[in-house]
A = this chain, B = another copy of it.
C-alpha cells in the first residue's frame, strides 16, 4: 500500500486549470468574471442578470450523523465530477468553510481525498474575503449602535436589550460572554454582550438569502438590533446603517467560482450554520449555477431533518427553486451508530446494529418524500465496511423501495461515483417539490408541522421564555416568518442520545429569536453553540508555511 496522502498534499500535487478556462467551459462570459489570482474568481451577478435559471437542482443531504460526519461534501464533489464525466453540464454549489474551525479540530473543509475543491488552502484561509466582509459589517453595526447610545441615545435604545452581537471568524470561547464599554465615560456605555463566530451572524444568513444588492440593502436595514426602554424593536435602518453595511458587503454578494479536482466548476459561497440559520450556500450562488449548468449539486448542513428541511422550507421557498432530486448520503458506520453500536467499535462488523439503525435512513427518505422529492441513497464507502454489511444495505434498499448506489469518492474521485451519477439522473423529476408548511398560518403552526411531520414528535412544549417570545413576535407582526428550528443533529428529537428513529416524543421550545433581516424566526430547542472553542491541541499548532509559500498541516 502506498503512503496515504493528506488532503492538502493531494490538492497541492494537482495541476489546477486557470479559472478563466473553468469559467469559459461553463459558459460564463469573460466580462462577468472578476479574477482573484489565477484560480479563484467572483462572478459579477449584474453582468449575467438576464440569463434564465434553468439548471436542475439536486439537494445533497444526509442521515443523522456520527460525530465524524458522513462525507456529504466529498460525495457531492465526486458525484459532480462523475456527472461531468458522463457528459452532463454539472456544477457544484457549496458553502464556504469557516476559518475558525480550520485552526481548531478540522484543519480544512473543502471535500476530501480525490473529491476536493481547489485551491483548498485558499478556500480554507480568507478565500475571497466574504467572511471578513460579514465580520466588518457586523462589527461596524455594533460600533454604530454603541456610538448612538454613547452620543445621546436619541432612539432611546435600552443598552441592556441590545441583541446585536459582534463576530470574529475565530474559535474563541473567551469571547462568548464579555463586558464591553468599561474604562469610564469616554470609552462608551458598559454592556453585557458576546461574540459569535462569523458563520453564526445574521449578516451571514442575509448573504445566504439575498437576491440582489437592492434586496441585500433592504434586509440589512430590516435587522432588529435590540429594543428601546419601552420595548419597541430598533432596526439598523433607524441607525442609518444599511448603506454603509451594503457597501461593506457589495463584493461579498458576488458568488465565488473555483474548481473540483476533476475540473468541474464549483460555486462556493456563503456559510451559515444549520442550527442558528438555514445552513446552505447562498441562493445567488445556486441560481448562478443554474444559469450555467444543467445539473446543480448543492448541500445542506447536518442531516435531512435539519439542513434538508431548511433548504426546502427556507431557501427553496425564498428563491422559488424547484428541487429536482436529492441524495441522502449514508454510511454503514452511521447506521450502526444509530443502531446502538459504540462509537469506538464502529470499525467492527455488526449486522444487528446495522439492522437496528437502518430506520434512521428510512426516516430521512420518508421525510424528503413529504416535500415531493424522491431521493437516491448514496452509500459512502469506508475502509471498515464489510461485504456482508454492504450486501445488507443493497437488500434493504430493494425491500424499502429506494434507489441505492455505492460511492467511493474519497479514494477514486469522480470515478467512484459513476453508478451514483447514473442512479441520480434516472430519478430526477421536475416540478414536484414544495415546502412543508405555510408560514401564513403562524409560527406555532409552522413549528408544529415540522415537529410532527419531520421530527415525529407528539407535542410541542413552550418554556416560559418561549411563551413570552411568541407573544412579542405576534405583537410586532413577525408571526408569518418561516422558522429555523435549532435542534441537535444527532437525533430527530431534541435529545441527542435518542438515536435511530424516535417518535412520540415532546419537542421543547426554549426561546425564539426574531431574525428580521434574514427573514425568519430562530426556534431554540436546546443550547446552541454560536462560538466554538479550540481543543487542547489546536490544528493551528500543526499548520506551517515553507519559504516558497507552500502551506502544510491542513487536513
Query: A residues near B, CB below 8 A?
Result: 34-38, 46, 99, 103, 121-122, 125-126, 129, 132-133, 135-136, 139-140, 142-144, 146-147, 150-152, 166, 168-183, 186-189, 191, 212-214, 217, 240-241, 243-244, 246-248, 250-251, 533-536, 538, 540-545, 547-549, 551, 553
Contact = CB atoms under 8 A, between A and B. Distances in A.
Contact of A545 (B143, B146, B189, B247): B247
Given A99-B136, A170-B140, A187 B176 contact: yes
Nearest to A536: B151
Given A136-B99, A173-B146, A243-B543, A46 B548 contact: yes
13 contacts: A36-B37, A125-B247, A126-B248, A140-B540, A143-B172, A166-B168, A168-B168, A177-B182, A178-B179, A213-B549, A240-B541, A244-B540, A244-B544
Contacts of A122: 251
Given A178-B179, A213-B549, A549-B213, A133 B144 contact: no
Contact of A250 (B135, B179, B541, B551): B551
Nearest to A187: B176
A143 B174 contact: yes
Contact residues of A: prevailing secondary structure: mixed
A173 B187 contact: yes
A103 B140 contact: yes
Contacts of A35: 35-38
Given A176-B187, A540-B144, A545 B125 contact: no
A212 B536 CA distance: 31
Contacts of A143: 103, 170-172, 174, 534
Contacts of A213: 545, 547-549
Contact of A187 (B121, B125, B177): B177
A170 B175 CA distance: 17
Nearest to A547: B214
By Cβ-Cβ distance, the 7 closest A-B pairs, closest first, are A177-B183, A174-B188, A243-B544, A132-B132, A244-B540, A143-B172, A177-B182
A545 B177 CA distance: 34
Query: How many monomers of this protein are in the complex?
Result: 2
The residue among A35, A146, A171, A178 with the most chain B CB atoms within 10 A of its own CB is A178
Contact of A136 (B170, B536, B544): B170
Nearest to A172: B143
A244 B174 contact: no
A20 to B, nearest CB: 10
Contacts of A247: 121, 125, 543-545, 551, 553
B173 A125 contact: no
Contact of A132 (B129, B144, B544): B129
A392 to B, nearest CB: 40
Given A35-B36, A146-B172, A240-B540, 17 more contacts: A36-B36, A46-B549, A103-B140, A125-B247, A125-B248, A135-B168, A150-B533, A151-B535, A166-B168, A173-B188, A176-B188, A178-B179, A178-B180, A179-B179, A179-B182, A188-B533, A244-B543
A288 to B, nearest CB: 16
Nearest to A184: B177
Contact of A549 (B168, B181, B250, B533): B250
Contacts of A214: 547
Contacts of A135: 132, 168
Nearest to A194: B183
Contacts of A536: 151-152
Given A36-B36, A547-B212, A174 B146 contact: yes
B126 A126 contact: no
A350 B243 CA distance: 43
B172 A189 contact: no
Contacts of A535: 151
Contacts of A133: 126
A173 B144 contact: no
Given A536-B152, A538-B147, A217 B545 contact: yes
A168 B175 CA distance: 14
B126 A251 contact: yes
Nearest to A143: B172
A173 B146 CA distance: 8
A181 B174 contact: yes
Nearest to A132: B132
Contact of A173 (B186, B243, B540): B186
